[in-house]
Amino acid sequence: MSIDEQVPNPFAFGGDTAKFVEVGDSVSGTIVKLEHRAQTDGKGNVQRFNDGTPKPVVVVHLETPSGQRVRDFVSGRAVSVFREAVHRVHGPGTSPEIGAYYCRKLVRLEPPSQRGWSPAKIYEIEYVPRSQSGGDERELV
C-alpha cells in the first residue's frame, strides 16, 4: 500500500480545526488522540519534500475545558517545537501521551524568506503530562 492510500480524508474526523491567524491565537486542552501522517494539500494529494519524502503532520485531537473537540494540525517547524516540549518532560526519544495537557500559541511572525511568501509563524507549545495514576497509553508520534 502506498503512502497516498494510507492518508485518510482530513475531513473525516470530528471537531473544529485550530486556526492561528493573529499573534496570540492559541488552542489548548487535553490530548484525546494523536495521529502521525503525511501532510496533504486541499485536494488530498500528499505533499513532499524535494527528495520525495512525504512531509509529516501530527494531528493532535483535543478536548477543551468546555468539552469542545478541536484538531490541531502540527506541521513544519511546529513539529520540532512539539517534540522538544515532550522531550523536556519525558526525555529524549519519547512520545506524547494521551491525557496530557497541550497548548499551542502563535507568538510571532517572521518576515518571509522569499518575496511573495507568507510570513513564517513561530509557535510555543506547552506540554504537561497527565497524572501518573493512570496506565501508560503513549502513542508513537
Mean pLDDT, rounded, for 64-82: 92
Specify the pLDDT at position 4: 43
The ranges assigned to domains in the chain are: 3-128
Specify the pLDDT at position 15: 65
Mean pLDDT, rounded, for 54-75: 93
Q: CA nearest 32: which of 123, 130, 132, 124?
A: 130
> CATH class for domain 3-128?
mainly beta
Q: CA nearest 30: which of 54, 64, 80?
A: 64
